Amino acid sequence: MKITLIRNLVAIALMGFFTQISMAQDESAGVALAEVANIVVSLQHFPSDADKAALAKIAATEGLPPGLREMATAVSNIAHAANDEDKEVMARIQANAEAPDRAKSLAAMIASFNHMLSDEQKATLAGLFPSD
């Protein structure tokens, strides 16, 4: 009986521990997604060297979702507009049922990027990714 109780307590403790790790990963993904969105909002024709460095760091972070890492790469590749390969990747993200709506919206804006975002697109992203 004591062994069963100890096992249950250990199982509960482990679930709590892994839940905290999962929440931390979700939070870091949210922060990285907001960073990509902020870069897209400020983008004019192509990303700056500082933007490219930030995007490369996001793209190289193994713990982030693959779609987020692909968005960072696509934004880094923008030269007046997204290239055809990155547009296809953004279309896959938009079609992914598991992708959050705000990630799908950002992917759509990356795919349709043409020199800069419109004021309406910037307002949409500001609503989806409010700054603190």
What's residue 73's pLDDT?
A: 97
Q: What is the pLDDT of residues 60-79, one digit of tens each?
A: 999 999 999 999 999 999 99
pLDDT of 51 over the 60 cut: yes
Q: What is the pLDDT of residues 82-126, one digit of tens each?
A: 999 999 999 999 999 999 999 999 999 999 999 999 999 999 999
What's residue 26's pLDDT?
A: 64
Q: What are phi and psi of 46, to 5 degrees?
A: -165, 160
As given in the structure block, the two tokens for residue 94 are 């938009």
Q: How far is CA 95 from CA 42, 50, 53, 62, in A?
A: 26, 30, 28, 22
Mean of pLDDT values over 42-57: 96
| pTM of model > 0.75 | yes
What's residue 14's pLDDT?
A: 46
Average pLDDT value over all residues in the chain: 86
Domain ranges in the chain are 31-128
What's residue 17's pLDDT?
A: 41
Cα atoms in the 13 Å half-sphere on the side-chain side of 35: 21
CA–CA distance, 37 with 106 (Å, rounded to integer): 7
What's residue 82's pLDDT?
A: 96
Q: Decide if 74 contacts 110 (C-beta within 8 A).
A: yes
Q: What is the pLDDT of residues 13-44, one digit of tens each?
A: 444 443 333 333 467 899 999 999 999 999 99
Amino acid identity for residue 121 in this structure: Q
